[in-house]
Amino acid sequence: MSQQQSMTARTGRDKQRYSESGERLVAGVVPLSADKTRVLLIQSSRRTAWVLPKGGWETDEATAADAAKREAWEEAGIHCVVTRDLGKILDTRGPKEVSSSAPKALYQFYQVRVEKEEAEWPEKHKRGRQWMSYRDAKEKLKGRPELVQALDRSEIVK
């Protein structure tokens, strides 16, 4: 992505991609420091938990990596470079946790190197961000097995 990015976050699901079996396609990043000793987590939109930057892969984005980098910008305010494809991760939520507004997802995560953190970004008003060690991040993500799996697939120093 270019350094000139929109300060408006995308909303809605009218351009959302879905798999052949109906899962919402979600792209995300595991943002690592240059020395791979820390990962950047963000607060969920309601500021109730820590998560990795991720969101829907939209029909006007050529690749899931493009979507992941856009989400990294909108949610965490970072410019990043993809360094590794971490593969697909299945949604592990049970039937009672899935709804029409929160359908099953198929996650595609990428390890990225953070090149720059901006002071202002589209979702700054609703998300904090914080660098954490592997141990601290794993503890913060423990309620989200798909996010822990992405973290574990990365090259972060454990």
Would strands 78-90 and 105-117 be described as parallel, antiparallel, or unpaired?
Answer: antiparallel
- pLDDT for 2-14, tens place per residue? 445 777 766 666 8
Torsion of CA 98, 47, 79, 72, to 10 degrees: 0
**How many of the other CB atoms lie within 10 Å of CB of 63?**
13
What residue type is assigned to position 71 of the chain? Answer: E
Q: Retrieve residue 108's tokens.
A: 């595609």
**Does this model's pTM top 0.75?**
yes
- pLDDT for 104-142, tens place per residue? 999 999 999 999 999 999 999 999 999 999 999 999 999
Alpha-carbon Rg for the chain, nearest whole angstrom, is 15
